[in-house]
Amino acid sequence: MPAVIAENIVKRYGKKKDTVEALKGISFEAAEGELFGIIGPDGAGKTSLFRILTTLLLPDAGKATVDGLDVVKDYKEIRNRVGYMPGRFSLYQDLTVAENMEFFATIFNTSIEENYNLVKDIYSQIEPFKDRRAGKLSGGMKQKLALSCALIHRPSVLFLDEPTTGVDAVSRKEFWEMLRKLKQQGITILVSTPYMDEASLCDRVALVQSGQLLSVDTPAGVRGAFGKPLLAIRATKMLPLLDNLKKAEPVIDAYPFGEFYHAVMQPGYDEAALRNYLGQKGHEDIEIHSIEPDIEDCFMDLMKN
Amino acid sequence: MRTLKFLLQKEFRQIFRDPAIIRILFLMPLIQLMILPRAADYEVKNIRLSVVDHDHSDYSRQLISKVTASGYFQLDNYSNSYALGMDAVEKDKADLILEIPANFEKTLVKEDQATLFMAINAINGVKANLGGAYLRTIIQDFNQEVRMEWIQFPRFSPELKIAITSSNWYNPSMNYRLFMVPGILVVLVTMVGSFLTSLNIVKEKEIGTIEQINVTPIRKYHFILGKLIPFWVLGIVVLTLGLLLARFAYNVIPQASLLTIYVFSAVYLLAVLGLGLLLSTYTANQQQAMLLSFFIMMVFILLGGLYTSIDSMPAWAQWLTKINPVAYFVEVMRMVILKGSTLSDIKPQLAVVSAIALVLNGWAILSYKKRA
> Number of Cβ pairs closer than 8 Å across A and B?
70
Q: How many other C-beta atoms can be found within 10 angstroms of the C-beta atom of residue A191? A: 26
- CB distance from A88 to chain B under 8 Å? yes
B153 pLDDT more than 70:
no
Strand-strand pairing, A212-217 and A204-209: antiparallel
B10 contact residues in A (CB cutoff 8 A): 92, 95, 99, 103
Whether the CB of A99 is below 8 Å from some CB of chain B: the reply is: yes
CB contact under 8 A, A82 and B2: no
Assess whether pLDDT exceeds 70 at residue B318. yes
pLDDT at B151: 66
pLDDT of residue B157: 61
The per-residue pLDDT for range A122-149, each reduced to its tens digit, is 888 888 998 999 999 888 888 889 999 9
The b/e string for B310-349 (b: 16+ C-beta within 10 A; e otherwise) is beeeeeeeeebbeebbbbbbbbbbbbbbbeebeeebbeeb
Alpha carbon of B370: minimum distance to chain A alpha carbons (Å): 7
Q: Which of B75, B5, B8, B72 is nearest to B41 (CA)?
A: B72
Chain B CB contacts of A108 under 8 Å are 216-217
Q: Do A55 and B371 touch (CB under 8 A)?
A: yes
- Together in a domain, B30 and B52: no
- Lowest average pLDDT, out of A75-79, A156-160, A276-280, B304-308, goes to B304-308
Mean model confidence pLDDT for chain A: 88
pTM here? 0.78
For chain A, give every domain's residue range.
4-216, 230-304
Do residues B279 and B355 both lie within one domain? Answer: yes
DSSP string, A133-158: BGGGS-HHHHHHHHHHHHHTT--SEE
Percent of chain A with pLDDT over 70: 100
Pair B52, B98: CB distance under 8 Å: yes
pLDDT tens digit sequence for B202-224: 999 888 888 888 888 888 888 88
> What pLDDT was estimated at residue A133?
93
- Residue B169 has a pLDDT of 83
B236, B312: one domain: yes
If one compares B48 and B176, the residue with the highest pLDDT of the two is B48
> B182 and B280 share a domain?
yes
β-strand pairing of B73-79 with B47-53: parallel
CA distance B275 to B179: 26
Would you place residue B156 in the very low, low, confident or very high pLDDT band (cuts 50, 70, 90)? low
Q: Assess whether B131 and B189 both reside in one domain.
A: no
What does the pLDDT read at residue B161? Answer: 67
Whether the per-residue pLDDT at A7 is higher than 60: the answer is: yes
Quote the Cα angle for B129-B132-B136, to 5°. 140
Are B185 and B333 contained in the same domain?
yes
| B221 or B271, greater pLDDT | B271
Output DSSP code: residue A215.
Answer: E
Q: Are A297 and A230 in contact, with CB atoms under 8 Å apart?
A: yes
Domain count within chain B:
2
Q: Are residues B13 and B53 located together in one domain of the fold?
A: no
Q: Are strands A157-161 and A188-193 parallel, antiparallel or unpaired?
A: parallel
Nearest to A95 among B14, B211, B370 (CB): B14
Of A40-49, A57-66, B90-99, B143-152, the range with the lowest mean pLDDT is B143-152
In this structure, are B36 and B146 located in the same domain? no
Res A129: pLDDT = 92
State whether B208 and A86 contact (CB < 8 Å): yes
Contact residues, chain B, for A88 at CB < 8 Å: 208
**Structure confidence at residue B155 as a pLDDT band (50, 70, 90):** low
| Rounded Cα distance, A50 and A37, in Å | 12
Phi/psi for A171 (5° steps) reads -65, -35
| Cα nearest neighbour of B10 on chain A | A103
Domain A230-304 is classified in which CATH homologous superfamily?
VP9 protein domain (3.30.70.2070)
A236, A285 in Cβ contact below 8 A?
yes
pLDDT of residue B75 exceeding 80, the answer is: yes
Give the nearest partner residue to B17 out of A54, A94, A107, using CB atoms: A94
The complex's ipTM works out to 0.77
**Domain around B345:** 7-40+175-367
Taking any CB pair shorter than 8 Å as contact, residues of chain B touching chain A are 2-3, 6-7, 10, 13-14, 17-18, 207-209, 211-218, 370-372
Query: Residue B252 class from Cβ within 10 Å (0-12 exposed, 13-18 middle, 19+ buried)?
Result: buried
Q: How confident is the model at residue B370 (pLDDT cuts 50, 70, 90)?
A: low
Highest mean pLDDT pick, B77-81, B237-241, B354-358: B354-358
Q: For residues A149 and A102, give the distance between their C-alpha atoms in angstroms, rounded to a whole number.
A: 9
Task: Compute the nearest-CA separation of B194 from chain A (Å).
Answer: 22
**B369 pLDDT exceeds 80?**
no
Distance from CA of B3 to the nearest CA of A (A): 6
* Same domain? B189 vs B331: yes
**Rounded to 10 degrees, what is the CA torsion of A271, A272, A274, A277?**
180
Nearest CA in chain B to A153: B216
Nearest to B14 among A54, A92, A149 (CB): A92
For residue B228, is it within any domain?
A: yes
Q: Which residues contact B249 (CB under 8 A, 6 or more apart)?
A: B33, B34
State the pLDDT at residue A240.
87
Lowest mean pLDDT among A55-64, A161-170, B258-267: A161-170
On whether both B317 and B194 belong to a single domain, the answer is: yes
Which residues in chain B have Cβ-Cβ distances shorter than 8 Å to A133? Answer: 17
Question: Stretch B356-367: mean pLDDT, rounded?
Answer: 91
CATH of domain A4-216: 3.40.50.300
- Which residues from chain A sit within 8 angstroms of residue B213, using beta carbons? 107
The gap from C-alpha B53 to its chain's centroid, in whole angstroms, comes to 39
Average pLDDT across chain B, whole number: 86
Instruction: For residue A182, give the H/E element and its range.
Output: helix A169-184
pLDDT higher than threshold 80 for residue B159: no
Check B3 against A107: CB less than 8 A apart.
Answer: yes
B215 CB neighbours in chain A (<8 A) are 54-56, 79, 82, 84
Residue B238 CA to residue B241 CA, distance in Å, equals 5
pLDDT at residue B172, rounded to an integer: 75
Are B189 and B328 within one domain?
A: yes
Confidence (pLDDT) at B267: 95
| Distance (Å, whole) CA A261 – CA A231 | 8
Task: Give the C-alpha separation, A184 to A249, whole Å.
Answer: 49
If you average pLDDT over residues A116-124, what whole number do you get?
87
Q: Please indicate, yes or no, if residue B108 is contained in any of the structural domains.
A: yes
Tell me whether residues A107 and B18 touch, CB distance under 8 A: no
Q: CA-CA distances (angstroms) from residue A178 to A81, A208, B303, B363? A: 20, 25, 61, 45
Contact B18 A94 (CB under 8 A): yes
Do A79 and B217 make contact, defined as CB atoms within 8 angstroms?
yes
**What pLDDT is stored for residue A83 in this prediction?**
92
Burial environment of residue B365 by CB neighbours within 10 A (0 to 12, 13 to 18, 19 or more):
middle
Sheet holding A188-193, edge to edge: A82-85, A157-161, A188-193, A35-39, A204-209, A212-217
Question: For the segment A183-223, what is each residue's pLDDT rounded down to a tens digit?
Answer: 888 899 999 988 888 888 899 999 898 888 888 889 888 88
Contact B208 A89 (CB under 8 A): yes
Residues of A in contact with B14 (CB under 8 A): 92, 94-95
Residue B1 lies in a domain: no
Query: Do B317 and B260 have their domain in common?
Result: yes
Give the 3-state DSSP-derived string for chain B, with helices as H, strands as E and coil as C.
Answer: CHHHHHHHHHHHHHHHCCHHHHHHHHHHHHHHHHHHHHHCCCCCCCEEEEEEECCCCHHHHHHHHHHHHCCCEEEEEEECCHHHHHHHHHCCCCCEEEEECCCHHHHHHHHCCCCCEEEECCCCHHHHHHHHHHHHHHHHHHHHHHHHHHCCCCCCCCCCCCCCCCCCCCCCCCCHHHHHHHHHHHHHHHHHHHHHHHHHHHHHHHHCHHHHHHCCCCCHHHHHHHHHHHHHHHHHHHHHHHHHHHHHHHCCCCCCCHHHHHHHHHHHHHHHHHHHHHHHHHCCCHHHHHHHHHHHHHHHHHCCCCCCCHHHCCHHHHHHHCCCHHHHHHHHHHHHHHHCCCCCCCHHHHHHHHHHHHHHHHHHHHHCCCCC
Please name which of A44, A84, A159 lies closest in space to residue B370, comparing C-alpha atoms: A84
H or E segment at A222? helix A219-224
> 3-class DSSP state for residue A12?
strand
Q: Tell whether A138 is within 8 A of chain B (Cβ).
A: no
Q: What is the mean pLDDT of residues B280-309?
A: 88
Nearest to B211 among A56, A93, A109 (CB): A56
Query: Is the CA virtual torsion A246, A250, A252, A258 positive or negative?
Result: negative
Q: What is the pLDDT of residues B231-257, one digit of tens each?
A: 999 999 999 999 998 888 888 888 888
Cβ of A92 within 8 Å of Cβ of B211? The answer is no
| pLDDT for A265 beyond 60 | yes
Nearest-by-Cβ selection for A103 from B10, B207, B211: B10
> Closest to B13 (Cβ–Cβ): which among A82, A95, A107?
A95
CATH at residue B111: 3.40.1710.10
With CB atoms and an 8 Å threshold, state whether B218 touches A107: yes
Share of chain B above pLDDT 70, in %: 95
Taking alpha carbons only, the member of A150, A206, A211 closest to residue A175 is A150
CB–CB contact B211 A58 (8 Å): no
* For chain B, percent of residues with pLDDT exceeding 90: 22
Q: Which of B2, B3, B14 lies closest to A94 in CB terms?
A: B14
Predicted local confidence at residue A248, as pLDDT: 83
